[in-house]
């Protein structure tokens, strides 16, 4: 499944409603975010039942504030609209796979 870029709060709320959703809070200027991006792409490809969203904290600051994203990258896992897990910082692939399970 392709990674979905989030542009606004309404789109975000619609996308997290159903199923397993991994949300990547990032910024274009963030070095660790750039290092994490290919790992997330790989995990997204290998887990077709997982929806992956990208939220640029500079473009959608309201979401970052709502989910208390203080540093990036921050990954938040949702299941059927409910937050189930949160990780901050660069995650190696193995750790990311454990995180989404």
Whole-model pTM: value is: 0.95
Residues catalogued as catalytic: 30, 33
Contact 43, 97 (CB under 8 A): yes
Residue 81 structural domain: 3-100
Check which CATH number belongs to the domain holding 32 and give it: 3.40.30.10
Task: Tell me: pLDDT of 1 over 80.
Answer: no
Average the pLDDT over 75-96 and give the result.
Answer: 96
Contact 72, 35 (CB under 8 A): no
Average the pLDDT over 42-54 and give the result.
Answer: 95
pLDDT tens digits, 8-33: 999 999 999 999 999 999 999 999 99
What does the pLDDT read at residue 2? 81
């Amino acid at each position: 499944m392709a990674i979905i870029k989030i542009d606004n709060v309404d789109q975000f709320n619609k996308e997290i409603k159903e199923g397993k959703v991994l949300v990547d809070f990032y910024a274009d200027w963030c070095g660790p975010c750039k290092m994490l991006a290919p790992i997330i792409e790989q995990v997204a490809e290998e887990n077709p039942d997982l929806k992956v969203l990208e939220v640029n904290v500079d473009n959608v600051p309201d979401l970052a504030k709502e989910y208390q994203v203080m540093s990036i990258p921050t990954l938040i896992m949702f299941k059927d609209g409910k937050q189930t897990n949160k990780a901050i910082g660069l995650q190696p692939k193995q750790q990311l796979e454990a995180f989404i399970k």
